[in-house]
Amino acid sequence: MTKLVVLDAYALTQGDNRPLETLLGRYGTPYIYDRTAPEEVLARAKEADFLFTNKTVIDAATIEAADHLKMIGVLATGYNVVDIGAARAKGIPVTNIPAYSTESVGQLVFAHLLNIMARTDQYAHEVREGQWSAQPDFSYRQGPIVELYGKTLGLVGCGHIGQAVARIALAFGMKVKVVTRKAPEELPQGVERASLEEVFSDSDAVSLHCPLTTDNVRMVDTRLLGLMKRSAVFINTARGGLVDEAALADALAGGRIRAAGLDVLAVEPPAADCPLLRLENCFITPHIAWATEEAIGRLMQILDDNIRSVIKNTPINNVAK
């Protein structure tokens, strides 16, 4: 009997495991857990033929103990939760789900940017509270509304998501500068290559689209934030660890930048006393950029393709080659 084990399905399925059960049931018997505590991982994994995780850590000891393991599937793009070296040493493919949420993340970047520049959240709240109804004039304004046309968007990273965000920005009539290793001729038309310092100092909004590595932990610090215009907006839908959150909180509280739109934090979920949560000019969504219905549909299709490829002994999206 082929045993397919999912260690932490809840973030993907929100408790409705039926589509995942149907998909995995094509290949054997699914065992789907909403969440798995660290002390439960070994017991749940050691008999698995196919083991799946989103954010639950699969370490070398777990991989060594799982004698039947034919595949480790990460239900996301990032795969730092798996000990790749240990899997490679045992010849176990580790598959990820690449490029499934590109358009969805790009959409949320602009949801944050438009909300901040057009004050949609503020005005919708104030109208609901009756403040427009109490005015003598047809138009009610409290604070400036800013258009994106002609403004500069700075991007740190120009992979699939960075390029999608650049495309949207150009459609709004924005100028785009990007920090990238790509040669200028490799960039989309209308996108200018720039240094990290130039992007932070010259842009009206800066958006992060780079992976988190040991070299760039908390790279967005007091120095970089200090280069930004007071009217500028900071957006992060990449990884929370890229940002020195204390420095960002200070910059926001002191009015040294206009606002921030964040979908990721260094610790998720955040502690109740995280200083960013209390700032009126910090707009935080709970790590949902990836989670549109369409993106989840693509994720499930790629997952199916990954499993079938491993069964055929021709694994795709294998990050442990």
- pLDDT string in tens for the chain (321-residue length): 899 999 999 999 999 999 999 999 999 999 999 999 999 999 999 999 999 999 999 999 999 999 999 999 999 999 999 999 999 999 999 999 999 999 999 999 999 999 999 999 999 999 999 999 999 999 999 989 999 999 999 999 999 999 999 999 999 999 999 999 999 888 988 999 999 999 999 999 999 999 999 999 999 999 999 999 999 999 999 999 999 999 999 999 999 999 999 999 999 999 999 999 999 999 999 999 999 999 999 999 999 999 999 999 999 999 999
Does 321 reside within a domain?
Answer: no
DSSP H or E run through 308: helix 293-311
DSSP H or E run through 177: strand 175-179
202 and 303 co-located in one domain: no
| Catalytic residue (one of 112, 119, 209, 239) | 239
**Residue matched to tokens 């598959």:** 95
Domain holding 162: CATH number? 3.40.50.720
Tokens linked to 151 = 């403004």
| Catalytic residue (one of 223, 268, 278, 294) | 268
Does 191 reside within a domain?
Answer: yes
Reference 180, options 163, 204, 202; nearest CA is 163
Is 69 in contact with 63 (CB distance < 8 Å)?
yes
74 and 159 co-located in one domain: no
Is 153 in contact with 175 (CB distance < 8 Å)?
yes
* Alpha-carbon span 224 to 66, nearest angstrom: 45
List, for residues 61-111, the tens digit of each pLDDT value.
Answer: 999 999 999 999 999 999 999 999 999 999 999 999 999 999 999 999 999
124 and 77 co-located in one domain: no
Does 317 reside within a domain?
Answer: no
Q: Look at residue 280 in the predicted model and tell me its pLDDT.
A: 95
Distances, alpha carbon 72 to alpha carbons 8, 100, 301, 302, in Å: 13, 18, 17, 14
40 and 122 co-located in one domain: no
150 and 269 co-located in one domain: yes
Residues in the chain: 321
Q: Give catalytic status of residue 160 as yes or no.
A: no
Which neighbouring-strand residues pair with 30?
Answer: 4
* Alpha-carbon span 65 to 100, nearest angstrom: 31
Identify the three-state secondary structure at position 149: coil
How would you label 12-27 residue by residue, b for 16+ Cβ within 10 Å and e otherwise?
Answer: bbeeebeebbebbeeb
96 and 106 co-located in one domain: no
Instruction: Give the number of other CB atoms < 10 A from CB of residue 236.
Output: 24
Single pTM value for the model:
0.94
269 and 152 co-located in one domain: yes
Does 129 reside within a domain?
Answer: yes
DSSP string, 252-283: HHTTSSSEEEES--SSSSPPTT-GGGG-TTEE
Look at the chain and report how many structural domains it folds into: 2
Q: Look at residue 143 in the predicted model and tell me its pLDDT.
A: 87
Does 319 reside within a domain?
Answer: no
Which neighbouring-strand residues pair with 283?
Answer: 261
Does 69 reside within a domain?
Answer: yes
293-311 helix and 18-25 helix, angle to the nearest 10 degrees = 20
Does 318 reside within a domain?
Answer: no
| Catalytic residue (one of 193, 287, 298, 308) | 287
Q: Which domain holds residue 119?
A: 102-284
Does 320 reside within a domain?
Answer: no
106 and 225 co-located in one domain: yes
Q: Give catalytic status of residue 287 as yes or no.
A: yes
Q: Look at residue 1 in the predicted model and tell me its pLDDT.
A: 87
96 and 107 co-located in one domain: no
Query: First-to-last CA distance in the chain?
Result: 27
